[in-house]
A and B are shown apart, each in its own frame.
Chain A
Amino acid sequence: MSFSPADWLAMALHFMALSLMAVGGAVSTAPEMHRYIVQQRHWLSGEQFNASIALAQAAPGPNLLFVTLVGWQIGWQAGQQSGLQASAWAAAWPWLLAGLGALTALLSMLLPSAVLTYSATRWLARNQARRSVRAFRSGLAPIVIALLFATAWVLSRAHPEVHQPWRLWLLTVAATVVAWRTRWRLIGLIAVGAVLGALGWV
């Protein structure tokens, strides 16, 4: 994979467009991001993409931060193909590009929606009773929910190399039911998934 300045721009623009489409949270854009970054541009493998989401889910903080890791990995790979002579500079290069990728992805994903939301919330707060405002809110509700289900679907089907995917599906279904029906700590569920995986059960 060679990564030109045009590719950097394309990446930034893609995240900026996603930012404005991210109703229902950044993670609801994951299917679209996957389609573009993995399937269309081949910047990352499906495994790398899923690892980004899984790590971000496992770590504290908003799920939006998974784009930081997507950018980090794209930048890191770009840095690997610099063709520089072996030197301290060449060793630092992938780290620099990875940092740049992370920052580019996060800020591109953040700023457009932040500007829009900051101004829109002021306006919405003053016009809550308007029919158009209420139609906007309630009209998007079913779409937002469907996007969350689609994200769960894409994530749960992300392991083509696994021999027994049914065990992973079972774990997903079990996690769904427990998180839905109980008030167990979510971090506990994540830990159970990590242990089951580390022991090779899923």
Chain B
Amino acid sequence: MNTSSPSPTTRLGPRSPAQLFWVCTGVSLQGFGGVVAIVQRELVERRGWLTPAEFAEDWAVAQTLPGANVVNLSMMLGGRYFGLRGAAAAVAGMLAVPALLLVALAVLYGGVSSSPAVQGALRGVGAVAAGLIAATALKMLPTLRHNPLGPWLAGVLAVLAWVAVALLHVPLIGVLATLGLASCGLAFWRLGRAGAVPAQARGVASQTAPAAPHPHAAPPAAESREWP
């Protein structure tokens, strides 16, 4: 912990895996239509367990690795403090109670699902949910401007991927194996052509984060990561 501006001794963090579990449960239960915003407010702003820079960095990684990004993020956080136990506690906190709640809701819904009002409400919620996902994608779109692929190439790849999945119903694995691989290959080539980029020029790291979290989040040095 040799980089953060607050002195290392004031560094805050969860006291135990159990506390981590309950804090994550609380965060998750507040997260309607997206837990990320709550994570940011609760863990960064209120508790100070992560600096804004660390959050931006972790989020970019959590986003690009497979799996639910909030689950990935909580796993990284828990892992940093308590190793595997911490990761398990954080993920269980994010999922266990909300999963039970959701199943209870589904059972209630099963009892009333033939009611036209309930059917209609679900239809309305579904339409809004589609909009929320589209909005998340729209918020991520400007990050392509700074993509090493360049906005045009990135845009073409995105459109191709969309057409393949949404219109042609190509299986996801096929899209990842062709367009995904091609995209990573092109990025690799572009990065090489751009010359050796100093490790400090780290705009890239946060570019996959939605809604540009903390553009001022200056170089979060790799050394700041502390794994048990």
Stretch from B9-17, B43-51, B112-120 contacting the other chain: B112-120
Task: Across the interface, name the chain B residue whose C-beta is closest to A128.
Answer: B222
Interface size on A, residues (CB 8 A): 106
Question: What does the 1/0 interface line of A38-65 toward B look like (CB < 8 Å)?
Answer: 0000000000001111111111111111
Chain A residues packing against B (C-beta within 8 Å): 17-27, 29, 31-32, 35, 50-65, 68-69, 72-73, 102, 106, 110, 112-114, 116-118, 120-122, 124-126, 128-129, 131-132, 134-156, 158-159, 162, 168-169, 171-180, 186-187, 189-190, 192-200, 202
Given that A61-B31, A172-B127, A190-B128 are known contacts, is A200 also in contact with B122, CB under 8 Å in the complex? no
Given that A129-B199, A172-B130 are known contacts, is A60 also in contact with B28, CB under 8 Å in the complex? yes
Query: Chain A residues with Cβ under 8 A from B222's Cβ?
Result: 125-126, 128-129
Closest Cβ of chain A to B155, distance in Å, is 7
User: Are B135 and A179 closer than 8 Å at their CB atoms?
Assistant: yes
Query: Chain B residues with Cβ under 8 A from A154's Cβ?
Result: 166
User: Are B33 and A190 closer than 8 Å at their CB atoms?
Assistant: yes
Given that A128-B199, A134-B191, A197-B122 are known contacts, is A186 also in contact with B33, CB under 8 Å in the complex? yes
Q: CB of B215 within 8 A of chain A?
A: no
Query: Chain A residues with Cβ under 8 A from B160's Cβ?
Result: 146
Report whether over half of chain A's contact residues are helix, strand or loop; otherwise say mixed.
Answer: helix
User: Are A139 and B124 closer than 8 Å at their CB atoms?
Assistant: no
Question: What does the 1/0 interface line of B160-204 toward A look like (CB < 8 Å)?
Answer: 111001100101110110011001111110011000010100101
A136 to B136, CA, bound (A): 21
Q: Which of A24, A65, A176 contacts B134 (CB 8 A)?
A: A176
User: Are A198 and B121 closer than 8 Å at their CB atoms?
Assistant: yes
For A60, A65, A124, A143, the residue with the greatest tally of chain B CB atoms inside 10 Å of its CB is A143
Identify 9 new A-B residue pairs, CB closer than 8 A, beyond the known A69-B103, A137-B64, A172-B128.
A20-B66, A31-B165, A51-B113, A54-B125, A59-B101, A134-B148, A138-B208, A145-B140, A153-B162
User: Are A135 and B130 closer than 8 Å at their CB atoms?
Assistant: no
Q: CB of B91 within 8 A of chain A?
A: yes
Chain B residues packing against A (C-beta within 8 Å): 28-35, 37, 60-72, 75-76, 79, 84, 87, 91, 94-95, 98-99, 101-103, 105-106, 109, 113, 116-141, 143-144, 147-149, 154-155, 157-162, 165-166, 169, 171-173, 175-176, 179-180, 183-188, 191-192, 197, 199, 202, 204-205, 207-208, 222, 225, 227
A56 to B106, CA, bound (A): 9
Closest Cβ of chain B to A19, distance in Å, is 7
Q: Which of B30, B33, B37, B199 contacts A189 (CB 8 A)?
A: B33
Query: Chain A residues with Cβ under 8 A from B79's Cβ?
Result: 118, 121-122
Closest Cβ of chain B to A153, distance in Å, is 4
Closest Cβ of chain A to B22, distance in Å, is 15
User: Are A150 and B165 closer than 8 Å at their CB atoms?
Assistant: yes
Query: Chain B residues with Cβ under 8 A from A159's Cβ?
Result: 123, 126
A179 to B202, CA, bound (A): 29
User: Are B128 and A64 closer than 8 Å at their CB atoms?
Assistant: no
Q: Which of B29, B103, B154, B184 contacts A136 (CB 8 A)?
A: B184
User: Are B123 and A162 closer than 8 Å at their CB atoms?
Assistant: yes
User: Are A116 and B125 closer than 8 Å at their CB atoms?
Assistant: no
User: Are B149 and A152 closer than 8 Å at their CB atoms?
Assistant: no
User: Are B135 and A106 closer than 8 Å at their CB atoms?
Assistant: no
Q: Which of A50, A116, A142, A200 contacts B116 (CB 8 A)?
A: A200
Q: Which of B119, B180, B192 contacts A131 (CB 8 A)?
A: B192
Query: Chain A residues with Cβ under 8 A from B202's Cβ?
Result: 128
For B30, B119, B121, B172, the residue with the greatest tally of chain A CB atoms inside 10 Å of its CB is B172
User: Are B132 and A186 closer than 8 Å at their CB atoms?
Assistant: yes
Query: Chain B residues with Cβ under 8 A from A145's Cβ?
Result: 137, 140-141, 144, 158
